[in-house]
């Protein structure tokens, strides 16, 4: 890419404005799913932990010694399997309910309790009423859909794994500040919740599985480090697109979406299609965030 920093800023401002509009649209209450029944998105994602993730998944993290070789990868694999198993329990439970099979496992009993909690069944029902059968059938379709999206997210993590050498090369190229470090890869459960709940299972909006983190003491330092990073990115063939989200010098553009935190982010799309996030923080803000 032969693009000036000013040109990148102009292009990404348009992209950023479009992203803001998209977020507003996605958060409208009247938007509906189009993959099966037209059910509203907020109905499909409520109670996400008990619906798609076992409520005891935190025990997995406690069961693994952090000093174990390949700790992060092992944790991810176990979390993925736990989510897959729980979705399978959900599907088997719903199928048994439809044929009035009362031979439920302990996990299936837990799932029935969850179905009652979210309104798929009435609290006093042993089997679904005739008018509720379609809810159970639709719920099976929902679980199959979420299962396919889970597989998509797993593939995204695998692509990010294969990009690690490229990511490190990009971060190490910033000679002005040695404080731009590789960020630990996002924990899978956190990524899954964000993917389903915040991004409505839209993989194009996953931008932070990997990336870097820099902390600067002044706005001038922040600008210089960001500009250095951009100049490297626009001259490497490893990158296909750069977007800039600047909440430090242009905070009002994000007044409706921002929590008040100020930083600068580069969203960098690699040749693989993976988008990484490089964050640049002011030390005062970062210290407050991490306390």
Give 147-173 pLDDT, tens digit per residue. 999 999 999 999 999 999 999 988 887
Domain that holds residue 195: 1-29+163-291
CATH number at residue 197: 3.30.460
Task: Looking at the structure, tell me whether residues 59 and 98 fall in a common domain.
Answer: yes
pLDDT, average across residues 265-286: 87
Is it the case that residue 237 has pLDDT exceeding 70?
A: yes
pLDDT for the residue 223:
81
Task: Looking at the structure, tell me whether residues 55 and 197 fall in a common domain.
Answer: no
Query: Taking the complete model, does pTM exceed 0.95, yes or no?
Result: no
Task: Looking at the structure, tell me whether residues 130 and 232 fall in a common domain.
Answer: no
Bridging pattern class, strands 211-216 and 239-246: unpaired
Task: Looking at the structure, tell me whether residues 169 and 291 fall in a common domain.
Answer: yes
- Which stretch, 16-25, 80-89, 177-186, 229-238, has highest mean pLDDT? 80-89
Task: Looking at the structure, tell me whether residues 170 and 290 fall in a common domain.
Answer: yes
pLDDT for the residue 118:
86
Q: How confident is the model at residue 245 (pLDDT cuts 50, 70, 90)?
A: confident
Task: Count CB neighbours of 264 within 10 A.
Answer: 24
pLDDT for the residue 182:
86
Task: Looking at the structure, tell me whether residues 196 and 127 fall in a common domain.
Answer: no
Task: Looking at the structure, tell me whether residues 61 and 79 fall in a common domain.
Answer: yes
Q: At what angle do helices 219-233 and 5-26 cross, to 10 degrees?
A: 100
Sign for the CA dihedral angle at 147, 84, 29, 131 comes to positive
What is the per-residue burial (b if ≥16 Cβ within 10 Å, else e) of 68-98? Answer: eeeeeeebbebbbebbeebbebbbbbbebbe
Task: Looking at the structure, tell me whether residues 206 and 250 fall in a common domain.
Answer: yes
Residue at a domain's end among 143, 159, 175: 159
Task: Looking at the structure, tell me whether residues 108 and 21 fall in a common domain.
Answer: no
Mean pLDDT computed over every residue of the chain: 78
Residue found under tokens 């001038």: 220
* Count of domains forming the chain: 2
Residue at a domain's end among 159, 174, 205: 159
Task: Looking at the structure, tell me whether residues 140 and 244 fall in a common domain.
Answer: no
Identify the weakest region by mean pLDDT among 109-113, 139-143, 149-153, 286-290: 286-290
68 against 28, higher pLDDT: 68
Q: Report how far Cα 287 is from the mean position of its chain's Cα atoms.
A: 24
pLDDT tens sequence across 184-232: 888 999 999 988 888 888 888 888 888 888 887 777 887 888 888 888 8
| Residue 32 DSSP class | B
Task: Looking at the structure, tell me whether residues 10 and 39 fall in a common domain.
Answer: no
Q: How confident is the model at residue 75 (pLDDT cuts 50, 70, 90)?
A: very high
Residue at a domain's end among 142, 159, 176: 159
Residue 227 neighbours by CB under 8 Å, 6+ apart? 5
């Amino acid at each position: 890419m032969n693009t000036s920093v000013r040109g990148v800023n102009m292009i990404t401002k348009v992209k950023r404005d479009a992203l803001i509009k998209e977020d507003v649209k996605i958060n409208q209450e009247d938007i509906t799913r189009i993959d099966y029944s037209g059910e509203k998105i907020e109905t499909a994602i409520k109670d996400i932990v008990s619906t798609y993730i076992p409520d005891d998944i935190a025990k997995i993290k406690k069961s693994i010694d952090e000093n174990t070789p390949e700790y992060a990868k092992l944790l991810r694999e176990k979390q993925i399997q736990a989510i897959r198993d729980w979705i399978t329990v959900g599907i088997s439970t719903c199928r048994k309910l439809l044929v009035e099979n009362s031979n439920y496992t302990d996990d299936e009993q837990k799932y029935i309790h969850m179905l009652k909690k979210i309104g798929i069944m009435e609290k006093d029902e042993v089997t679904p009423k005739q008018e509720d059968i379609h809810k159970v059938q639709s719920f099976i379709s929902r679980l199959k859909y979420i299962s396919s999206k889970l597989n998509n997210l797993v593939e995204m993590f695998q692509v990010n794994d294969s990009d690690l050498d490229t990511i490190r090369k990009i971060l190490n190229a910033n000679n002005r500040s040695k404080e731009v470090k590789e960020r630990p890869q996002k924990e899978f459960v956190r990524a899954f919740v964000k993917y389903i709940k915040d991004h409505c299972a839209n993989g194009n909006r996953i931008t932070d599985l990997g990336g870097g983190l820099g902390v600067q003491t002044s706005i001038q330092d922040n600008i210089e480090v960001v500009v250095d990073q951009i100049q490297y990115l626009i001259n490497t063939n490893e990158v296909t697109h750069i977007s800039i989200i600047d909440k430090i010098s242009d905070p009002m553009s994000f007044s409706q979406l921002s929590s008040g935190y100020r930083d600068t982010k580069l969203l960098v799309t690699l040749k693989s299609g993976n988008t990484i996030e490089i964050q640049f923080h002011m030390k005062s803000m970062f210290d407050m965030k991490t306390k």
